[in-house]
């Protein structure tokens, strides 16, 4: 495609190159007839009497005694460069937007297309319009004649325009065309596919970084709202405790009848219930707000941490542990939202090589624009492969079939069901010393998992959030004996939920006694969480 072809002195070269189609655009009515006459011998040549800019329509075309300088724009420094230049007239011409020129050709994206630009003053407009509509890179080669200085109103000088093309993946094949006017040279630029890939990756990186900044701002806003709600709840709880203590003091100092005492006790219970309800509603509102944000951004619902689920603060402790340790296996006693969360975190952990910063790390560039200076490695392909190779190394035991199916559906909706071995494990009797417990039927599955470990000393994360506390006294105690039976000698990190309950406090004491009897080194700490928690590390 030759824009502003004039009489096209290079027509025979184009024909000799074997071009399948040749499109010549020339709006000057003094030149277009002769150009059409010269082209009649070639069936693959099409001549159109059109000017090219950013917008279609009719515009005034200024004619000069040197026809090659005729333009849609008013000249500025042109008369100083060419003292003999004179305007000979004006004419109204049809203008086509640059990105529409492909409509006149039968061309595919993969074709080897050349673009020759001889449009005084409109060079930058043509380039930018093609780029804005994603048509620029359909040209493998661009030959452009442009003034060393800006010679027309709002025109772009040669050096700046060449730099813009280089930034868009083209490289200058050498100095300007030595056969051309030194003040109005021709530049030959070729598309570098690797430089184009570099630019695409950099743009992708910028978009990802922008998304990250937006998410960080959103998290900051949510955290600010959460802090306000927590401060309000804390103040209300403090006021309630103060009022309760005053009432107790009054109760101790006052002799009340049975009826009055019952009314006062009922008042205290109502106040406690009201405080708990307010805190629960505040928590539900925060969770719903965050889930809605995730749905609007990604089209998926976040797992719920209300009701029987682990509390959000315990969830964050688990996420932190997963991020900081490369666990070989995760075991859950009890399934639900935590199963989805752990699966998603481990999936992300496996695909970290696809994060925006890693894209550029796989792209080596020494600063020059040439085919030899770039080495592109597809980080995205590597990341996808890594994510697909994530083993099924999460085992979740669930004794209630209904809850197991709920967990399965949540995993499927989140696209992480293939990473979890979800086991239906009915409760069965387990005896230890003089006590009998109802616990998951999990022994065989744990032994199989232990046999599949590839390391002599694997790292294993365990979440003990079942069976329910009302199953029997110390219902979760058997978890440790089962783990020690199957994973002796391995590194175990154990989270116990609901440590604010008397039963769980006693379970930890029983566990510690058991570990001391077996001379197993351990570290333990109580976690300050909404429902209490205990972390036990067997080293």
Distance of CA 230 to the CA centre of its chain: 30
321 — pLDDT class (breaks 50, 70, 90): very high
Strands (DSSP E) contained in 163-277 are 170-172, 186-191
Residue 278, pLDDT score: 63
Assign 432 a pLDDT band (cuts: 50, 70, 90): confident
**What pLDDT digit, counting tens, does each position of 120-136 carry?**
999 999 999 999 999 99
Q: Does residue 421 carry a pLDDT above 80? A: yes
* Distance of alpha carbon 438 from alpha carbon 151, whole angstroms: 90
For residues 233 and 150, state if they share a domain: no
Determine the pLDDT at residue 241. 75
| Residue 496 included in any domain | yes
Tell me which of 291 and 349 has the higher pLDDT: 349
| Range(s) of the domain holding residue 29 | 2-191
**Percentage of the chain with pLDDT > 90?**
50
How far is the C-alpha of 341 from the C-alpha of 275, rounded, in Å?
A: 29
Residues 376 and 261 grouped into a single domain:
no
Residues in the chain: 539
Residues 266 and 122 in one domain: no
- Inform me whether the pLDDT recorded for 358 exceeds 90: no
481 contact partners, CB below 8 Å, separation of at least 6: 430, 432, 514
Same-domain check for residues 436 and 378: yes
- pLDDT (average), residues 449-454: 90
Least confident span in 298-302, 406-410, 530-534: 298-302
Q: Tell whether 304 is covered by a domain.
A: no
Question: Is 403 part of a structural domain of the chain?
Answer: yes
pTM, entire model: 0.48
**Boundary residue ending a domain (191, 224, 259):** 191
- For residues 226 and 224, give the distance between their C-alpha atoms in angstroms, rounded to a whole number: 5
Question: Region 367-374: what's the mean pLDDT?
Answer: 39
Residue 128 and residue 109 share a domain: yes
Last residue of a domain, one of 298, 324, 357: 298
Same domain membership, residue 510 and residue 361: yes
The phi and psi torsions of 146 (rounded to 5 degrees) equal -150, 145
Q: Which of 171, 191, 211 is the last residue of a domain?
A: 191
State pLDDT tens for residues 221-262. Answer: 877 887 787 778 778 777 877 887 787 777 666 655 666 666
Q: Within a domain: residue 153?
A: yes
In this structure, the answer to whether residues 322 and 446 fall within a common structural domain is yes
**Distances in whole angstroms, Cα of residue 177 to Cα of each of 57, 172, 188, 191:** 33, 11, 7, 18
Kindly give the pairing relationship between strand 533-538 and strand 435-440. Answer: unpaired
* pLDDT (average), residues 277-298: 55
What's the distance, Cα to Cα, between the start and end of the chain in Å?
Answer: 73
Q: Are residues 116 and 223 in the same domain?
A: no
pLDDT of residue 89: 95
Tell whether 305 is covered by a domain: no
Q: Are residues 454 and 505 in the same domain?
A: yes
Lowest mean pLDDT among 5-14, 167-176, 444-453, 470-479: 167-176
pLDDT beyond 70 at 106: yes
pLDDT value at 58 more than 90: yes
- pLDDT at position 40, please? 92
Are both 288 and 317 inside the same structural domain?
no
CATH number, domain with residue 77: 3.40.50.150
Could you tell me which of 199, 141, 142, 145 has the C-alpha nearest to residue 169? 199
Regarding whether 227 and 263 lie in a shared domain, the answer is: yes
Angle at 46 between CA 43 and CA 52, to 5 degrees: 165
Specify the number of domains making up the chain.
Answer: 3
In a domain, 307, yes or no: no
Residue 128 in any domain: the answer is yes
- Cα 286 from Cα 280, distance rounded (Å): 10
Residue 534 phi/psi, 5-degree rounding, is: -135, 135
Task: Please count the other Cβ atoms lying within 10 Å of the Cβ belonging to residue 251.
Answer: 15
263 and 344 co-located in one domain: no
Does 447 fall in a domain? Answer: yes
């Amino acid at each position: 495609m030759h824009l502003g072809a004039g009489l096209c002195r290079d027509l025979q070269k184009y024909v000799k190159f074997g071009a399948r189609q040749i499109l010549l655009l020339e709006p000057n009515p003094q030149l277009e007839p002769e150009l059409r006459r010269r082209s009649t011998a070639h069936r693959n040549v099409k001549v159109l009497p059109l000017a090219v800019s950013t917008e279609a329509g009719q515009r005034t075309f200024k004619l000069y005694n040197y026809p090659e300088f005729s333009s849609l724009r008013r000249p500025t420094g042109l008369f100083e460069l060419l003292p003999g230049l004179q305007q000979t007239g004006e004419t109204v011409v049809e203008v086509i937007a640059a990105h529409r020129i492909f409509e006149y050709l039968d061309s595919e994206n993969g074709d080897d297309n050349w673009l020759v630009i001889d449009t005084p003053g409109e060079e930058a407009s043509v380039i930018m319009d093609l780029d804005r509509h994603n048509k620029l890179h359909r040209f493998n080669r661009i030959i452009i004649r442009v003034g060393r200085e800006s010679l027309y109103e709002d025109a772009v000088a040669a050096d700046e325009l060449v730099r813009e093309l280089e930034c868009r993946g083209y490289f200058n094949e050498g100095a300007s065309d030595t056969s051309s006017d030194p003040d109005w040279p021709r530049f030959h630029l070729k598309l570098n596919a690797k430089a184009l890939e570099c630019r695409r990756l950099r743009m992708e990186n910028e978009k990802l970084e922008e998304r990250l900044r937006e998410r960080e701002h959103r998290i900051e806003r949510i955290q600010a709202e959460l802090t306000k709600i927590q401060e309000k709840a804390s103040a209300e709880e403090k006021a309630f405790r103060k009022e309760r203590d005053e009432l107790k003091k009054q109760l101790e100092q006052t002799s009340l009848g049975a009826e009055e005492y019952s009314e006062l006790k009922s008042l205290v219970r109502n106040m406690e219930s009201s405080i708990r309800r307010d805190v629960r509603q505040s928590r539900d509102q925060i969770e719903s707000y965050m889930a809605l944000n995730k749905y609007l951004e990604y089209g998926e619902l976040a797992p719920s941490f209300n009701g029987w689920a682990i509390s959000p603060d315990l969830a964050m402790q688990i996420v932190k542990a997963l991020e900081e340790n490369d666990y070989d296996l995760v075991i859950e006693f009890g399934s639900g939202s935590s199963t989805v969360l752990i699966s998603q975190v481990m999936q992300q952990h496996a695909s970290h090589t696809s994060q925006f910063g890693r894209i550029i790390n796989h792209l080596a560039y020494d600063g020059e624009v040439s085919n030899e200076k770039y080495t592109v490695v597809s980080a995205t392909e590597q990341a996808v492969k890594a994510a697909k190779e994530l083993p099924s190394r999460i085992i979740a035991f669930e004794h209630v079939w209904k809850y197991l199916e709920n967990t399965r559906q949540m995993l499927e909706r989140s696209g992480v069901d293939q990473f979890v071995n979800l086991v239906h494990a009915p409760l069965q009797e387990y005896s230890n010393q003089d006590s009998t417990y109802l616990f998951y039927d999990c022994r065989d599955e744990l032994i199989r998992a232990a046999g599949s470990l590839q390391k002599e000393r694997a790292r294993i994360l365990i979440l003990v959030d079942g069976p329910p506390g009302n199953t029997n006294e110390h219902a979760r105690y058997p978890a440790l004996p089962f783990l020690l039976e199957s994973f002796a000698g391995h590194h175990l990190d154990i989270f116990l939920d609901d440590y604010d309950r008397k039963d769980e406090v006693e379970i930890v004491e029983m566990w510690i006694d058991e570990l001391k009897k077996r001379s197993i080194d351990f570290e333990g700490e109580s976690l300050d969480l909404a429902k209490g928690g205990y972390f036990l590390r067997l080293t």
